[in-house]
Amino acid sequence: MLTFLARRLGAGILLLLVISLLTFVLLSIPHADVGRALLGQSAPQAAVDAKNASLGLDRSVLAQYGDWLSHAVRGDLGRSWFTGEDVWSALGTRLPVTLSLVVGVTLVTAVLSLLLGVWAAVRGGLVDRCVQVLSVVGYALPGFLVTLVVVLVFAVRLGWFPAIGYIPFTQSVSGWLSTITLPVAALSVGAVAGVAQQVRGSVLDVLQRDFVRTLRARGLPPGRVLFRHVVRNASAPALTVLGLQFVGLLGGAVLVEQIFGLPGIGSMTVQYTTRGDVPVIMGLVMVSVAGVVVVNLLVDVLVGVLNPKARVA
């Protein structure tokens, strides 16, 4: 197991290095005159050149990346070129908002997908067809359309939840729940639709295996066979899809945060990318990729626990 974890962790670290290098190189391609953007169009060229030199932009891309990487491995992601704010401080105020959405959607998706998928696979017939239709419809609906409908119905017309804004968990638990309920619901529709179908297919596949028929022939209670043996063996593929959904949510949160006015990393990404603020963009990319690596590692560990054969892959 330790070798399995070390191999996965090494692959994650290598991914971080590759993504950071590619991102830094791509950000350097436009050759935007950052000094001019900071000092204004009327600033003398000598002052602009001096500003660019102070930011290290007069050096080669690889030299700039090496300097950034040497600081990043020590936990220093630098400061924003435009605001002077420490990147970690900026991320610290935005990251809890996005994590509230992503973790909330992941939990809702895991619970509802398991219930719907197992129910459809076991009951079959009309229940199975209804779940499949709902899954296809939920997966096909555009995310922005679902979000707008949720806002119009539950916030504007019914007034059950606020349409915009965010209340931190530390300030008010009930207020925090009220501000993330609609965003989580909007993001969960497509996620539940995709994972529920995977759960259904996996459960149906396991139900047809010989060991399940053997367990039933031995007289074990149906509930024990289903939840202790069938669901456990069928959960590995579903966990993989759930991990992929988590990765997709990091991108999908951008639109939802904009619509609901949430101060998360999604809206932060849009704001700082339009400015070309490289230190902040690099910090956002690294945090996002690190989150993907951690989630994939957790999924691999859980899959390895449920299916020991996966550890040799």
Dump the DSSP string for 44-113: -HHHHHHHHHHTTTTS-HHHHHHHHHHHHTTT---B-TTT--BHHHHHHHHHHHHHHHHHHHHHHHHHHH
How crowded is residue 199: how many other Cβ atoms within 10 Å of its Cβ?
29
DSSP state, residue 155: I
* CATH fold of 90-146+188-312: MetI-like fold (1.10.3720)
In sequence order, which residues have a C-beta less than 8 Å from that of residue 293 and are 6 or more positions away?
12, 13, 15, 16
Closest CA relative to residue 263, chosen from 170, 164, 184: 164
Q: What are phi and psi of 280, to 5 degrees?
A: -70, -40
Q: Please answer whether residues 212 and 225 qualify as being in contact, where contact means their C-beta atoms are separated by less than 8 angstroms.
A: yes
How crowded is residue 290: how many other Cβ atoms within 10 Å of its Cβ?
15
Q: Please answer whether residues 246 and 108 qualify as being in contact, where contact means their C-beta atoms are separated by less than 8 angstroms.
A: no
Per-residue pLDDT of the chain (313 residues; tens, 9 = 90+): 677 677 777 888 888 889 888 888 888 776 556 766 777 677 777 877 787 777 777 788 888 888 888 888 888 888 888 888 888 888 888 888 888 888 888 888 888 888 888 888 878 778 878 888 887 777 777 777 787 888 888 888 888 888 888 888 888 888 888 888 888 888 888 778 878 888 888 888 887 777 777 877 777 777 777 777 777 777 777 777 777 777 777 666 777 887 788 888 877 777 787 777 888 888 888 888 888 888 877 877 777 666 655 554 5
Q: Please answer whether residues 99 and 166 qualify as being in contact, where contact means their C-beta atoms are separated by less than 8 angstroms.
A: no
What residue segments make up the domains of the chain, in order of their start?
Answer: 2-72, 90-146+188-312
- Give pTM, 2 decimals: 0.76
Report d(CA 199, CA 236) in Å as an integer. 9
